[in-house]
Amino acid sequence: MSAATGWRSRTENADGTVRVDDDSLPWLRWRLADDIHRRLYHDIGAEVSPGVADGPGDYPIGTPHCRQGDRPLGVLEPMDQWLDGVTPPLGGWSEFRRWSFDRLEVASWPTRRHLGCFHRRGKARYDLMFQLCVALQAGSPASPAGPIWAVDGSGRAATDMITMLDGLDVVVPADVPARFLAVRCCGRPLAALRTDGPVYTHHGGVEAGELFVAGAGVDDLAVAVRRLARHEH
């Protein structure tokens, strides 16, 4: 299943209308986050962060790696809350996206003067890593719609994830915005994805950013990571 097809089949019905049911709810939010990254990550550094805590909490949106500072841009709530008490257009994804972006006031986010910002550099890959995180989560049979996390050095992140990175001599800096996304499978850490390209598992790391440039697709990367982690289903 390609990533693009995956988004569609998990968030749209066969006739192209937006699918709203228990299975689709996490995917609707992940797809909106992906759309925000596609339009605004490299431009202004907008990152939709799954947060460091377990559970289906809010996804704050900010610009943690922008030289203009971390601007709080809004919050992408869990979709059941996002859709509660409103009547969204569900006729098609682009219409739903425009409605959602309008609620987040995305059009007001862009600013100028980003020359030299990390998010403008070639190795800035939060957008790709977020997609890879979702692709890895999608391959989990136990909880295909389970949570994904950001990992920072604050001590709030899952300790077994930090332990895995420690074992690989990978530093998780304290006092800086989170630089890792993480996904678990079958109740244990599967991979931690650093937002400039490398992915770490209990059995070593792989340079996902370089493989992507060499032509690998997101689903190829997910397969490679699972193989490296010796955790295939």
- Give the residues lining the site for Zn ion (CB under 5 A): 45, 66, 114, 117, 185-186
Residues 110, 227: Cα–Cα separation, whole Å: 39
Least spacing, CB of residue 80 vs Zn ion, in Å: 26
Residues 134, 125: Cα–Cα separation, whole Å: 14
Q: Which is nearer to Zn ion, 6 or 97 (CB)?
A: 6
b/e sequence 153-184, b meaning 16+ C-beta within 10 Å: beeebbeebbebbeeeeeebeeeeebbbbbbb
- Give the other-Cβ count within 10 Å of 144's Cβ: 13
Least spacing, CB of residue 110 vs Zn ion, in Å: 11
CA 183, distance to chain mean position in Å, is: 10
93-104 vs 25-44: helix crossing angle, rounded to 10: 60
Least spacing, CB of residue 20 vs Zn ion, in Å: 27
Least spacing, CB of residue 178 vs Zn ion, in Å: 17
Q: Which is nearer to Zn ion, 45 or 97 (CB)?
A: 45
